[in-house]
Amino acid sequence: MKLYNAQWCWYCQRVRRKLDELGLDYECVEVPIRHSERHEVIEVSGQSSVPVLVDGSVVLDDDDTIVPYLEERYGKKAGAADRRS
């Protein structure tokens, strides 16, 4: 799992907190301050804004999309549902 991130970005901090809360391993890629220099995140997501999370073939942007995805995919509720199956 890879998170494109800016340390000063509140939205990125929210995603990092959720990843840490869930105990997930991830690579944190710090993006340049200038949007015009964010070549890697643009290549991956088609945009220069962060946060962007890459989880296998899934690419997500925006903390309001990423946090619910993490909770559903890796949270306690997902684990409980998996155990019932």
Of 84, 61, 60, 78, the C-alpha closest to 22 is: 78
CATH code where residue 57 lies:
3.40.30.10
Looking at residue 77, its pLDDT comes to 58
Looking at residue 78, its pLDDT comes to 52
**Residue partners of 81: CB distance under 8 A and separation at least 6:** none
Residue 47 structural domain: 2-84
Looking at residue 85, its pLDDT comes to 35
Domain count, the chain: 1
Task: Tell me the pLDDT of the chain (85 aa) as tens digits.
Answer: 999 999 999 999 999 999 999 999 999 999 999 999 999 999 999 999 999 999 999 999 999 999 999 999 998 755 544 433 3
